[in-house]
């Protein structure tokens, strides 16, 4: 069997993974979550995740963001 020029090897990904945007919102209001997740359907370059939490103070929102990033195994660089 002859290998063709430009033929891909098996098991190789051909698509780039999407960049993830992690957004923190305050409180248990679902409006922001619904608004930002609607962007996932309109564009394909990024994936938008909303951190779950019930904090209204800035420190609590940051804790929720870091906890979600750790659960999703995101690289914070």
Q: What is the pLDDT of residues 17-45, one digit of tens each?
A: 778 888 888 877 678 888 887 887 777 78
pLDDT over 70 at 6, yes or no: no
Rounded Cα distance, 2 and 11, in Å = 19
Beta carbons of 54 and 27 less than 8 angstroms apart:
yes
The structure's pTM equals: 0.64
User: In whole numbers, what is the pLDDT of the chain averaged over residues?
Assistant: 79
Residue 17: per-residue pLDDT: 74
Residue 33 half-sphere exposure toward CB, CA atoms < 13 A = 10
């Amino acid at each position: 069997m002859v290998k063709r020029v430009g033929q891909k090897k098996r098991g190789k990904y051909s698509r780039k993974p999407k960049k993830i945007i992690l957004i923190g919102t305050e409180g248990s209001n679902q409006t922001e979550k619904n608004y930002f997740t609607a962007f996932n359907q309109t564009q394909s370059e990024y994936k938008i995740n909303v951190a779950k939490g019930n904090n209204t103070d800035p420190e609590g929102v940051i804790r929720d963001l870091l906890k979600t990033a750790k659960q999703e195994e995101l690289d914070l660089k």
